[in-house]
Structure 1
Amino acid sequence: MNDIIKLLHHHRSIRQFKDETLSQETIATLVRAAQSASTSSYVQAYSIIGITDPAIKRQLRDISGQSYVEHNGHLFIFIADFNRHQALGEHLNQPIADYFGTTESLIVGTVDAALASQNMAIAAESMGLGICYIGSLRNDMQQVIDLLDLPEYTYPLFGMVVGVPESEGSQKERLPIDVVYHENRYQAFDYGDYAEYDAATSAYYKERTNGARNDQWSEQVVGMLSQKARLDVDAVIKRQGFLQQ
């Protein structure tokens, strides 16, 4: 097993960081790594906003409800971004706004940003830094848009905190490969394939919380998905010019 595979297998989210701000050189290195990711048709439909203003960090922390959004080495916000493409279309007198109303454009922007962010995550971990994705910024997507002055044809997807780890964190075991990887056609669901994983997850939480939690993965995920959450996201994205068709 080579060092890159070991790094990938060692991944865990870090939520406690030392009070060390990332240097501009490190930030530039991480952004360049993100930009090296694959991108659909060379469109590069994303932007990355680095948050250095303490007041903005505090407001984003309040939206997310997570203290490490404020206390980290650097906070990056990943934006699906077709605003520049719209401006280029106007500059070249070639209207392209109809494309942004399609579901395909939503997928392209989201995937482009996700690929870039994962490149950044791997680069950061290779430098001995820790990372954690912040999807909870979508708790109030409109407030994030207003706070960051995001224009039409953009929408915020998630944040990523990066910094020097205060602690190693803990690693959650992933689903068995047999239920994730299918050959040739989709395999029918069989709970027996998940029972051992549920037991392992329960043991993980029991050990991590000194017995305060022992929920299984299936119970946790189904319970979360059964709740109606972030129902405003659809309307906000449409106000930004997407999903019009």
Structure 2
Amino acid sequence: MTDVLSTVLQEQLHKRYGAQAPVAGGVANPTLELLLRHRTVRRFLPGEISESELAVIVAAAQSASTSANFQFTSVVVVDDPALRARLAELAGGQQLINDAAVFLVWLADWSRNIELARANGHTIEATEYLDSALSSVIDVTLSAQNAATAAESLGYGITFVGALRNKIDAVIEALGLPEHTFPVYGLAIGIPDPADPADIKPRYGQSVVVHRNTYTPPAAEDLADYLDRINTYYREQELPEDWVKNRLAGRISTKESLHGRQGIRNTFNRQGFPLK
């Protein structure tokens, strides 16, 4: 069994890294196999997730590490079709929000802890600083990733939907969110459509992202290697293949490329996060 897993892991590593993939050797188990085969699923078949499955997925989310046990994560389960359609519209017309078996909106949530502190006679000055908001976003991210992995372990596919932040104020209104909460992203979970061509997507080589003791700028040939692999992937997916032009530059070249997210600081402020 270990030999079979090692072979599978090596194939997955090759898809991630190409010829520079690390050698798995005898390091193999089902958890690693699950993590390494992750792919984004954007096409779902009709079907539902049981309430017991959803409860265990949320339990996995709540089992993630959390800063000082503050448990900043809240999740809105969106099962009303009209509300899903509204969120899909706000996220740029993403049909997968409607098609997924379940759609979850993950919130960075200071509200209940602030209420507890105030109810017990404490001030909340420290919550006004950027680190407090950052801590809550980190917490919700750890939780949501746990949920995604749990869902994949049950055979479901997942897609994170950051485009909810494009029209963040409208999302807050649609979900009726209170002060001191902030929607970070959505998570679509459902039955993967076998016809969905998406596969394991290439990542930067470890020589680019791993540093020993001090930061080392990436070598030009290592960056070129990644561009060759990611452009080949998109070409095989019959998508525009110039990753730098069509994706990187498309997100960072101008503030308009943020599609409305350039105003998020103002939304944080209105939600009770001064970000000092």
Tell me the TM-score normalized by structure 2: 0.84
Q: Identify the residue that residue 152 of structure 1 maps to in structure 2.
A: 179
Greater alpha carbon shift after TM alignment, 217-226 vs 122-131 = 217-226
Corresponding position of 2:269: 238
Residue 192 of structure 1: aligned partner: 221
User: What does residue 46 of structure 1 align with?
Assistant: 73
What is aligned with 2:23? none
Whole-angstrom distance in 1 between the partners of 2:85 and 2:240: 30
Q: Percent identical across equivalent pairs?
A: 33
| Aligned pairs for 1:1-245 within 5 A | 1-65=28-92, 66-96=94-124, 98-167=125-194, 169-209=198-238, 213-217=240-244, 220-228=247-255, 229=258, 230-245=261-276
Contact 2:100 2:190 in 1 (8 A): yes
Of residues 71-80 and 188-197 in structure 1, the stretch that sits farther from structure 2 once superposed is 188-197
Partner of 2:13: none
Looking at secondary structure, tell me which structure has more helix per residue.
2
CA contact (8 A) 1:50 1:74 kept: yes
Which SS does the other structure have where 2:199 is aligned?
Answer: coil
Conserved 8 A contact 1:106-1:243: no
Gap regions ≥5 residues in structure 2: 1-27
Counterpart AA for 2:210: Y
Amino acid at match of 1:4: T
CA deviations 1:29-74 (Å, max 9, x no partner) are 1000100000001010110110011111000000112110111100
Q: CA deviation at 1:214?
A: 2.4
With over 3 angstroms needed to count, the CA separation of the structure-2 counterparts of 1:67 and 1:233, relative to structure 1, is same
Say whether the 8 Å CA contact 1:40–1:108 is kept in structure 2.
yes
Q: Would the alpha carbon gap of residues 141 and 58 (structure 1) be closer, same or farther in structure 2, given more than 3 Å must change?
A: same
Paired residues, what number?
242
CA contact (8 A) 1:141 1:236 kept: yes
CA distance in 1, matches of 2:243, 2:75: 36
Conserved? CA contact 2:165–2:183, under 8 Å = yes
2: CA distance, partners of 1:180 / 1:58: 38
Q: Which moved more, 1:198-207 or 1:176-185?
A: 198-207
Could you tell me whether the CA contact under 8 Å between 1:100 and 1:242 is conserved in 2? yes
CA drift of 1:188 comes to 2.1
Cα offset, 1:192, TM superposition: 2.2
Shift in Å, 1:244: 4.3
Deviation at 1:213, TM superposition (A): 2.3
Give how far 1:93 is off: 1.4
- What is the DSSP-based 3-state SS (H/G/I as helix, E as strand, rest coil) of the residue aligned with 2:44? coil
| TM-score, normalised relative to structure 1 | 0.95
Q: Is the CA contact (8 Å cut-off) linking 2:129 and 2:274 kept in structure 1? A: yes
RMSD: 1.4
